[in-house]
Structure 1
Amino acid sequence: MTGSILLVEDNERLTEMLRTVLESRGHQVKSAGSGDDALAQLQGQRFDLLVLDLKLPGMNGVELLQRVRRSAALKELPVVIMTGVFRGEDYARAAAKLGVEAYLEKPFGKDDFLKAVQGALERGPARKELSRLLLDLYKNGKNGMIELRGGTRVFVVGGEPASFSSPGFVPFLISANHLQRGDLEQFPPSRPGRLPLVEAGLIGYDDLLEQSRLFLFRALVEALLQNQSPRFTPDITGVELPLTPLSLPRLLHQAAGTASFDLAPYLTSRGALCPVRTPEYFRLANLLNMGQEEVDLLQRLGQGKTVQDILSDCDTPARGAALLDLLARMGMLSLAAAPAQDQQPDFPQKVLFNRPIEEVSERRAEAINFNDLVDEVSESIELVVGKKGMAAPLSATEIDFEQEVQRDYAAIQDKNYYEIFGMTPGTFSFATLKDAYFAKTREYSPEKFMQLSGDTLGRAQDVLSHYANAYNTLSSVIAKERYDEMLNADTVGLGGKREDELQARIQFQSGKVFLEMEDYGNAERALQDAYTLDPNDAQTSAYLAWSIYKNPGNQRSQGALEKCRMLLSKSLQAERNADAFAFRGWMLLDEGRDGLAEGEFQKSLKLNPHQSHAQGGMRLIRERREAEKKGLFKRIFG
C-alpha cells in the first residue's frame, strides 16, 4: 500500500536518504525541517502518515505530536517516531498512548523502517482499500468524507455515498456538452460548488442532478477498479449540495461485474469451503439486479457444494467467483468448512426478486371441485343476463329439464351463431339478439343446473357455453366482423370439433384486437372463451395470460397472477414461442427482476426479432440502466 507521507527530520542528509527509500516504494513524500514547518504543512494538506523525529529545532517533536492529537482533523493520523535521544521502553509506552504506530530508535535499518511505515499505513483508520472502506462505512452506517485521487471528495451519509465536490466536475460537464465553455466565461458562477451553476442559468437543476449522479458513480467505480486506498475523515462538515445518493450494494455489485478477478488464488484459499446464505443475504439481495447466470449460480448454494463445485458448473467462473467474493464480504454469505443449511430471513419478506423463474404447473382437472364448477357457471350466466330476471326455482320434474337439455344440445350441433338465435346476417339486430339469448338462458338457472349429473350435466354446460360464445361473438362489433368473414369463407356449420376450432380462432383474433385497443376486460373474456375451446393452443394460453395480467381488475389478485404464470408455463411447454417469452419478461420486469427479464426478452427476439413487446422491454431496460448511471430514478420509477 502506498501513501502520502510527511517526513519531519532536521538532518538533511538523513532526510534525503529516507526520502529516496520511500519514493522507491511508490510513496509520495514531502519533508519538513522543523516542528513549525511540519504543522503548517499538516494544516494545509492531507497526509496518510507522519514520520517524526522527536528532537527538532523550535517546536520539538513531542509538542508537535500533542498538537496533532488535539486536532479533530489530525487526531487519527498514523505516526511513526524516529529518535536518537529518547530511548527505552518508557518513552515507547508514552508515545503509544498518543497513538504512535511504531517507535524506531536510531540507528535503525532500512527493512525495519519500511516495515514500520507499511504497517502504519495498513493499520491506519483513515487508509483502507476503497471497497473495504465503503463496506465498513455501510455496515456501521457512518458519516464522513473520502478523498479520492485528483481531489474528488465523496461525502458519505449513513454509510452510503450521498454527495461530492470535485475540480473535475465542470470539465466533465463541458466534455459531455452539458455546459459551454464560452457561457462559463461570460457568466461565471458567484461561488464554488455545483448549485451556483444552476443559479447562473448554466444548467437546469434536474440535469445537474442527473449529471452529478453519473459523475459520482463513475468516480467511485474508477477508484474501485484502480484499487485506490483513499483517506477517510469522519466529518461531513461542508457537505456540498445537492445530495445525489447512490445505493452502495448496487454500486459494488456493478463494479464487481466490470473488474477483472484473479480466479486461481481465490480457489486456493476458498475453493474447499461451502458457501451458505445468511439472513443478511435476504436483506440485501433485493437491492441488487442480477442476471440469469448469477441467479442460476446462487441456486447451487446450500446444497453441501463447495466453492469449487459451484464454479465448475459456471460458464464464466471468474465472474462467478467475483460475485461469491463480494457477497461474502458484504456478509450475505458465510463460508463454512463443512456443508451447512442456508439460514432464513429474520424479517417478513414478500418477494425475493433475484430468484429463478417459477415454472407453474397447470392445475389438474381432478383438483377442481364441484363448487368451483358451479361458481364458474353462475358467473357466466350473470355476465349476460344479470342477477335479476333469473328463472324461479325448479317446479317441473328433473326429467323434463334433462329432456330439454338434450333437445337444446341436438339443436345447436349444425347451426351457425345466427341460426341458434333464429336470425340470419340480413335480419340481425342487437335487440333481437338480446331477447333471444335471454329467452334461451333463463331456463338454465343455477338451481336447475345443480340438480343435473353425469352426461346431462356436461351437455348442459356445453349448451350454456355455446349460447355464451354465440352471444359474445355477435354482440361485439369486432368479433362479429371476424365471424362474418369466416361465414363468407364457408367454414361454418361443420359442427363438432371443427365448430369449436372456428370459434376458438374467432375469439382469439377478437381478444388480440381488444388488447390492441387496451380494452383488457373484453380481451380477457374473448381469450378465455378461446382457451376454453382450445386449451392446448400455445398462442391462446400466452395471450390469455397477458390479458389477465393487464386487466386492472386483476391487479391485486394473487390468484390471477398465479394463473398468468401457469398459462405462460403451459404455453412454453407446448411450444417455444416469442410471445410467451416476451409476456413473461414484462412480468419479471414489473417485479424489478431486470436481469431475468432481459433473458426472457432475448429468448423472444431470438425466435422473432420483430416481437414488439420484447423490443419495448429491452428498450426500457437500456433506459433504466442509463438512467441508473445518470441518476434518473425519479423519471423511471416516479
Structure 2
Amino acid sequence: MKKRILIAEDNPQLAVSLKTLLERRGLDCDIAADGVSALTRIVRQPPDLLLLDLRLPRLHGIELLKKLRQSDKTRSLPVIIATGIYKGDKYLQAARKLGVRHYLEKPFKGAELLAAVKAELQPGKTEGQPFAAILAGAFLDRFSGRLQLRSPQQHCSLDLIDGRPVALSPGITQPDFGSWLQSRGLLSAEEYAWYRHAAEGRHTALVEMGCLTYPDLLQEKLAWLSTELVAGFTLPSPAVKRHPYRLPPRLQVVAVNVPRILYEGFHHHPPTGDGLLARHGGEYVALADNYYRYVNFLCLEEEEKKLLPRLDGQRTLQEVLAGLDIGRALLHTLDKLEMIRFAAQPIPAAEPGERPVRTLFNDLEIEADAVEEKLESFGDVLGGEEESAAFVMPAENAASTESSDSSLAAEVRRAHAELQGKNYYEVFGLRSGEFSFDLLKQRYFKLTRKFGPETLMQLGGEEAALVEEILSTVSNAYNTLSDVVKKENYDQLLGSDKIGLGEAGDERFQARIQFQSGLTFLAMEEWEEAEKALQDASNIDTNNGIYLANLAWAIYKNPNNAQSRAMRDKARQLLARALTLERSGEGFAYKGWMHLDAGQDSLAEAEFGKALKLDPRQVLARRGLKQLREKREQEKKGLFKRMFG
C-alpha cells in the first residue's frame, strides 16, 4: 500500500512541484493550502507523513504542530518542516523538542527532501553491501545515527551526523585511536595503557596528560578516522543496520572546547558585581582534582599564569589576587568547572594522581625571553552564542498569559514602527562615523534574543509577521555592516537615502549591496565568497540578467565546483537565462570563455565578438581574443616546422 503524505504549503506552485516530485517516487500526496485545512484532514485521516510549511494562513504552522503533539492520535506523526523564514540552530532545536527530526530551510534541493522522506518512512537496511556503497549512501541520505557493520572479519560501529562520520569503534586496522597514536610514536606504552584502561579510551584524556594540544588532538582524530575509513574499503560487503538519532538536519559538527568557551564568555561578558570575591574572599583556595582534567584546555596570558602557583591552599583568595593585574575571567572559569575549592582553614592542593601528565601547557616559562604561542581567540564565536530556544506551550484560559501576550504584541508593534525609515546603522543606534563592531555585535544579539523563537512562538497573526520583518531587517543590517566589503559598498550606496522597513526599495537596495560585494570578490578572485554574495543578490532580484550572469561566472570559476559536472551545467544554464533577460558584454564574455575552455574556439570567438560590440572595452573578451590569436600563431609555427623543419 502506498504511503500517504500531506503537504501543508500555501504556495500553490511549490506545493504542486513537491507533489509531483514525491508521486514520481511512488508516494500518494495531498495538498492543504492553509493550517485549518491541514488540521481537518489530519484529524479525519492521519497521513503517514506531514510536510509542513510554518508560515500558513488561518492557522500558523507552529500552532498546528503544537495541536498535533497534544493529541494522542497524532503525537507520534512524523513531520518534516520546510521553511524559508525560521532559519538557524535555535529553530532546529525548538523543532526537535516537538519531535521533528528533519528541518529543511528553503530553498532546498529535491535530493534533501527525498532523503528526509526516506529516513522517516523506511526502516534501516540489514543486507550486505560494499563498504563504499554504505558510506556513500549514508552521506547522500545525510544520515544521522549509528551504523552497525558486520562481516566475518570485522564488527564495528560507525557514528555519523548529517552523513559525516564522527566516530568509529573499533577501528579497521587499529583497535582504537590510542593504538594508532602509539604506532606513530605519539604515545608511550605507559600513556596508552592509562588512556585505554583508566581513562576508558576518552580522547580528551590525551590533552589532560599533555600528550597533545587540543588543536593537535582534533587534527589527529580526523587523520585517524580518514585512514580507517579508507581501510574499510577492503571489507567484504558487510551487513549494515541503521539506528537513527533524533538530531536536526544540517547540524554543523564542531568539536567545542568548553573550558575555553567559558573563559572567553566570562572575559567578554563578566558577571555583574564580584559575587565570587564577596563570598570567598576571606577563605583559603586550592587546586581541586578537576584542575588537572581541564587546565590544558585553556591558553592563558602570562599574567594569568602567575595565579596558578598561588592556589596552594595556604592563602586566602584576597591574598592570592593581591598584586596581580588580571580580570576575573580565569577565576570564574576555575570556579565554574570546580577546578578550585574553598575552605575556612588551610587545605592541601590536589595533585595529578595516577594520571601521567607529561606537560602542563599553562605553567610559567622558566626562560624570561621564551615566547608562548597563543591559540586563536574564540571571542567572535562567543559573541554569537545564544540561549537555546523552545517552543513555548501557552497556558489555556489564563488571564495572566493573555495580559502578557497583549503587552508583548504591543511591544512588537512599537519596535516595528520605530524601525520605519531607518538605515542599517540606525537599526542598531549607531552612526557611520562612530562605528564599533563590538557594539554592533552586542546590540545585534540583544535584538535577536529579544525577538527570538521564544517571543515568536507566543505570537500569532499580524504580530508574528511583524516579528519576521523585524528579524529580517536586523539580520540584513548585521550581515552588511559586519562584512568589510559589504559595509564599504553600503557606505558608498547609502548617501542621503533612508532605507528601512518603510521603504519599498529596501530589498533591491540590499541586492545592490550584495551585487557590488560580489563584483569586488570576483576582482579579487575570491570565487566562493563571490558566489555567495551574487546568489544573495539574485535571490532578491530574480530577473536581473546582470546579477545572474556574474553569478554564473562565479559558480563556473569556483574551484569547489571544478569536478562537479552538475554545477558546471548549472552555470551554463544560468548564463543562458541571464542573456535571455539582458544582453550584456560581461555575459557574452563569460560564455566565450566557457566555450574556450571546452576547446570550441570558433564559438568562443563569436561570443567575444558579441561582447565587444556591446562594450568595446570589455577586458575579458579582449583577453580571450588575444589568447585565441596567440594559439593560432603557435599552431601556424608548428605546421611550418613540420613542413619545412
TM-score of the aligned structures, taking structure 1 as reference length: 0.36
TM-score of the aligned structures, taking structure 2 as reference length: 0.35
Structure possessing the higher radius of gyration over alpha carbons: 1
